[in-house]
Structure 1
Amino acid sequence: MDNSRIDAGDGVLAARREGESRANAVPPGVEYHRVLAGDERRIGRGILAIVLLVGGMWAAILGFSVLAHWLDGVIGTPDTAPGRGPLTPALHAFGLVGNAVLLPWAMVIQRWLYGVPGASLHSVFSRFRFDLLTCALLIIAPAFVVLNVVSNYVLPSESTVWVQNDLLWILAATLVLMPLQAAGEEYGLRGLVFRVAASWGRGPRVSLFLGIAVSAAVFAAFHLAGDPWLYIWYFVLAVSTALITWRSGGIEIAVAIHVAFNTLSFVFAIALSTDLGAGIDRSTANAANGIALIGPALVVIATAIVVWIRTRATGPARTPLTS
C-alpha cells in the first residue's frame, strides 16, 4: 500500500474538516446581533427562518392542544370549571410546552440555515451564564412581587371559587413549565429573529434597528391580542429586552425578566382565586390592562438603562477572539 497516498488522503480529510469547522464557527469579535451577518444579506433565507420559527411554534401549540383535548376526554375533565374557564390543566401545560419548543427549534433553524452552532444563542461566549441569570432574578423578581401586590390591591380582579384539583395542577404546570415557555420566546425572538433581521443591515446601527424592529413586530403579532394596551406592553418588553441582549451579549437577563413576569403574574392570579377564564381574554380593549402594565414596563425600561450604564465603558460584549 502506498503510504504517500494515505498521507495525502489524511491531509485532504483534515483540510476539509478544518474548512467545515471554520464555516460553522461563530465569527470572532462581533456583537450578539451581528453573528449571522455576512457579505450577503440573505433576506430570503431570513424570512424562511422566521416563517419556520413561528410556524413551528403554532404547529406545536396546535398539536399539543389536540393531545390535551384527547387527554381531557380520557380522564373526564369537564370543558369548563370555576376559576379556570375553558383552560384545563392539560391545555395550560401543553400550551406552555408548545412555546417552550421555540428554544431548541431556534437552535436547529440557526444551525440548519446559517451553519452557526445553536449554543451561540445563549450568549457571545456560546454558553448560558447562570450567574448572570441568578443576579438578574434576585433583583427583578422582588420588583415584580411588589408590583403584583400593589396592582392587585389597587385593581383587584374578579375572584371565583376554584376546583382544588384544577388549582393544584395549573399551579404545578405554571411553576415547572412557565419558565421554559418564557425562555423559549426569548430564544426565538430576542435570539434567532433578532439576529436574522440584524443580518439584513450593512452597518451596525442599521442592523440594530432592523433587529429590534422586526423582532418586536413578530413578537407582538404572534400574541394575537385585540387590546392595544397589550401591544404597547409587548413593544416595550421586546425593545427593552433586545437592547439588554445586545449590550449584555446574551439572552440571560431577558430570560430572567420574561420568566419573572410571566410566572409571578400567574402565581398571584391563582393565589387570589382570579377568574382566569376572564383574565386571559385579550380580544377587547381593557383600560385596566394599561394601568396594571405601567409598573412592569417601568421595571423593564429601568433594567435596560442599568445594563446600558454598566456597559458604557466597555461597550456591548463581543464574541471571544479565541475559543
Structure 2
Amino acid sequence: MPRPIDSDRLAFHRLVFARRRHGWWTPLAVGGLGLVIYVVFLLLLALAGVAAALSNPDAARALEAVLADGGSLDVTSPLSLAVGLGSVALMLPAYLLASLVVNGRRLGFASAVYGRLRWRWMLVCGGLAVATAVVVTLVTALLPAEASAAPLPAPAGAALWISLLVVVLLVPVQATAEEYVFRGYLMQAIGRWLRHPLFAILLPVPLFVIGHLYDPVGQAAVGLFAVAAGWLAWRTGGLEAAIALHIVNNLLAFLLGLLELSDPAATDVGWVSFATSVLLMAVYCAAVELVLRRRPIVRTYALPRAPLPPTVSMPTPTATVPLPGEPTPDLTRP
C-alpha cells in the first residue's frame, strides 16, 4: 500500500496509515461492517429482552414501560438506564471488531500513537477532569438558578443503588464508545483522505450533534464539546484526554440526576447549563495544554522507513602470478 506523501510522522487523525491495510476504501468498509455488526448486537439484545419478558411477567411490564418512554433515559428506572446506556456502549465492540477485520493488525492505533491506550496519561487526564468538574460546579452553583422543569424524582430503596451501579458501570463504556466512533473512527477516516487536521476535527461535529436531541442551546453546547474533544485527540495524539472528559461530564450529569438536582433526559438546556458546559470544556482544555507544555508527551507516530536495497559488492583486484616466460603486469598503470 502507498505511504502518505506528506510526512513519515503521523498525527492521530492519520494513524490509519500505520495499519496493515489502509487503502482509500477501508474507512467505508469499516463503517459498513461496523454498522452491520452493531445492528446484529441490537437484535441480540432485543431477543434477550423478549425472552425475559416471555418468561417473567414483571420483566414484561418493566420492558413495556421502557418502550413506552420512546427509549429516553429515565433515572428512576434502572432498566431504562441499562437499555439506553448499553445500546450506545455496543458501538465500541462493533467498531473495534470491524476495524480489526478490515484494517488488520495493530488495532491499538485506533486509540493512540503509541499503538495502545496510554493508561498513565488517562489517569492524569481523569484527575484533571474531576478537579475541573468540581471547581466549575462550585462556581456555577453561585449563579442564579434558571427556571426549568422539575427534575425527575430519584429512585428509592434498592432501585437507587441498582441505578447507581448501572451508571457507574455503563457510563464509562458509553462515553468511551462515543469517543471511539466520533473521534476515533470518523477522525481517522477523514484523515485517510484529507491531510489537514481541521477537516478531521470539524467534519464529524454535525453527526455528533444530530445524535443528541437537545434544543438549539443544548446542541450548540454539544457542538462545542465535539470540537474540544476532536482538538484534544489531535493535540495529545490519542483518545485518552477526550475519553476522560466525556466520562466525567456524563457521570456528573447522571449523578446529579440521581440526587434530584437535574434531569439528564431533559432536552431544554438553559443558559446557565450552557455556560457551565463551556466553562468546563475551556478550563479542562487549558489544564491539558498546561500539562503538555510542562511535561511533553509523544504526539505523533514515526512510520518505519523502508529498508535500503542491498549494496552490490565489487570484487577487489588481485595480483596474479605470471606464467613462466610472460611479462610481469604493471599494476600502477590505469
TM-score range, shorter chain: 0.7 to 0.9
Aligned twin of 2:156: 163
Aligned residue for 2:188? 195
Distance 1:161 1:113, change over 3 A: closer
Query: Contact (CA 8 Å) 1:125, 1:319: kept in 2 or not?
Result: no
Residue 252 (1) aligns with residue 252 (2)? no
8 Å CA contact 2:92, 2:181 repeated in 1: yes
Instruction: Report the secondary structure of 1:35's partner residue.
Output: helix
**Cα displacement (A) at 1:73:** 5.1
Structure with the higher fraction of residues in helix conformation: 1
* CA distance 1:122–1:194, shift in 2 (3 Å): same
The amino acid across from 2:82 in the alignment is A
- When structure 1 is superposed on structure 2, of 175-184 and 32-41 the one drifting more is 32-41
Write the distance in 2 (CA, Å) between the matches of 1:34 and 1:295.
30
- Residue of 184, 193, 203 corresponding to 2:177: 184
Structure 1, gaps ≥5 residues long: 1-18
State how far apart, in whole Å, the 1-side matches of 2:218 and 2:38 are.
Answer: 21
Larger Rg: 2
**Is residue 2:265 matched to residue 1:280?**
yes
Please, which of 27, 30, 44 is the counterpart of residue 46 of structure 1? 27
Q: Percent identity at matched positions? A: 19
Partner of 1:100: 89
User: What amino acid is the match of 2:283?
Assistant: V
CA distance in 1, matches of 2:279, 2:46: 33
Report the equivalent of 1:230.
Answer: 218
Separation (CA, whole Å) in 2 of partners of 1:233 and 1:61:
29
1:176 and 1:188 map into 2 onto residues whose CA distance is 20
Paired position in structure 2 for 1:318: 301
Deviates more, 1:246-255 or 1:30-39: 30-39
Aligned to 1:119: 108
1:31–1:319 Cα contact (<8 Å) kept: no
Alignment TM-score, normalising by the size of structure 2: 0.70
Matches within 5 A, 1:297-316: 297-303=281-287, 305-306=289-290, 309=293, 316=299
Go from structure 1 to structure 2 and tell me whether the alpha carbon gap of 1:220 and 1:317 turns closer, same or farther (over 3 Å shift).
same
Cα pair distance change 1:305/1:249, threshold 3 Å: same
RMSD of aligned Cα (Å):
3.8
Deviation at 1:34, TM superposition (A): 0.7
Q: Distance in 1 between matches of 2:134 and 2:123?
A: 16
> Which segments of 5 or more consecutive residues in structure 2 lack a partner in the other structure?
67-72, 306-334
* TM-score, normalised relative to structure 1: 0.72
Structure 1 segments of 4 or more deviating over 6 A?
38-41
Aligned-partner residue type, residue 291 of structure 1:
A
Match of 1:264 among 229, 252, 271: 252
The answer on whether the counterparts of 1:32 and 1:319 sit within 8 Å (CA) in structure 2 is no
1:258 Cα deviation (Å)?
0.7
Return closer, same or farther for 1:212/1:294 CA change in 2, 3 Å cut-off. closer
Show the counterpart of 1:74.
Answer: 58
